Amino acid sequence: MSSLSATLYLLRPSLAPPPPSLRFCEMRNSASSYCTSRRLALFHLGSALPQSQLLGAKASELLRGERNTLEAAPVANLAQAGTAITKENALEWVKNDKRRMLHVVYRVGDLNKTIKFYTECLGMKLLRRRDIPEEQYSNAFLGYGPEDSNFVVELTYNYGVDKYNIGTGFGHFGIDVEDVSKSVELIKAKGGKVTREPGPDKSGSTIIASVEDPDGYTFELLERGPSPEPLCQVMLRVGDLDRAINFYKKAFGMELLRKRDYPEYKYTYALMGYGPEDKNPVLELTYNYGITDYDKGNGYAQIAIGTDDVYKSAEAIKLYGGKIVLEPGPLPGINTKITACLDPDGWKSVFVDNVDFMKELE
């Protein structure tokens, strides 16, 4: 996992300086044994920052192998030249591809503290955890169900880095709960920070509250009753909502589940996903009137998505305005096929071969 993560981060565009302070409206409503080399390459997917950016010149030497990986990836793609698709059949292929959101990746400053908060306050389970001292990082996967069927979070702690800039572009994660008020009481009792007390959303149809984890990532609690996917949302801000909707529909094969405009609060949001929002995680895209660019910080990393064919996925992404930052193909030394891309706003996603993913979980 570490090799791939550093590789992808090296390809990430330099972050622009944070824009002037902006007042944003309330979003939407204000350890089994593994083959180490194989596991590391697949799952880290961009979460460990390259140590050259964090710890100086010594770590640059650790990344030489990752740079070689970048050079090797396009070569592997030549064997799949026949899989290229045209714009005429891309939409149909993407629509029929078996896709689902696998996990969301981000960085934290104290892994033990964050795991404690997520398990005790948010009710998640620690699915697995590992420490990779030779690569100077540790990570953990947490969620409400097994990784082969549920959307989960991947937390990464980079040695010696206790704080990250979340930026202005990341919005929140959403969690379905049966009783928002009780959840908030528990979080307060455990010392958690509540940033929005329980109350109806702007539509008046759902009781919500907002809390912050130890690193300042916001979680929106939604009172909806039992759900097969309690970890239900990732909200990101975009500079052109119609452009973003079109991209995620055509290149990612997501459905537009809902779109709502709040002119009195000067924002519009859209929910995108691979099925009904009461049964599947969704991507919530928010456009704040007049704001076309955001500081993405260095905390949030990306979402990983399963696909039947990373080569065709990459072709469709390029056809519809995305940028491939890691050419599709098997990772050197292992058989797992992936590709990585940026959407028109610069948000990164990684596509992972479905069959390879399931093998990695065995």
Q: Which residues are annotated as catalytic?
A: 220
Q: How far is CA 346 from CA 260, 323, 349, in A?
A: 23, 9, 10
* CA distance between the termini of the chain: 16
- Residue 210's region, left for phi above 0, alpha for psi from -120 to 50, else beta, is beta
Q: How many CA atoms lie within 13 A of 193 on its CB side?
A: 9
Q: How far apart are CA 132 and CA 308, in angstroms?
A: 30
Assigned token pair, 264: 């009195």
Q: Helix 36-43 and helix 2-10: axis angle, to 10°?
A: 30
The answer to whether 199 touches 143, Cβ cutoff 8 Å, is no
The answer to whether 215 touches 109, Cβ cutoff 8 Å, is yes
Q: Which of 179, 349, 360 is nearest to 272 (CA)?
A: 349
